[in-house]
Amino acid sequence: MTNTFHSSQPIYSQLADRINKQILRGELKPGDKLPSVREMGIKASVNPNTVQRTYRELEGMNIVDTKRGQGTFVTEDQGILHEMRERLKQEEISKFVKGMHAMGYSDAEIQAGLQAFLQNNFGGASE
């Protein structure tokens, strides 16, 4: 886990994003236990209070469940994980498209460029 944080966004939010992406990549699986607040604080080089806030945020989004005395676990609810995956995909697409529009590209140019990129770099294979 890289310990570089950007000043433009709260650290707890950036840490939550990192955990979400670990779940998306399958590094953290449904039911997996997250490191303790103290362990995560050491790993991420942040104050344990920041980690606690991160875990509370993720719990509020139902992405993790905290079991008193046992720890914090990735949810096993596939519906919630699917919603998270879709939300993150839409956020990334939105950032990309807004950036391209800001540079003056039309929707047609963006689509053509994306199709060419996928074809040239990934063989156009879709999942």
Closest CA to 3 of 36, 45, 40: 45
- Per-residue pLDDT tens digits for 34-81: 999 999 999 999 999 999 999 999 999 999 999 999 999 999 999 999
Residue 3 or residue 13, greater confidence: 13
Beta carbons of 64 and 55 less than 8 angstroms apart: yes
Query: What is the assigned CATH class of domain 11-76?
Result: mainly alpha
Residue 122 or residue 116, greater confidence: 116
| pLDDT in the model for residue 123 | 78
pTM of the predicted structure, to 2 decimals? 0.79
Closest CA to 22 of 46, 40, 1: 1
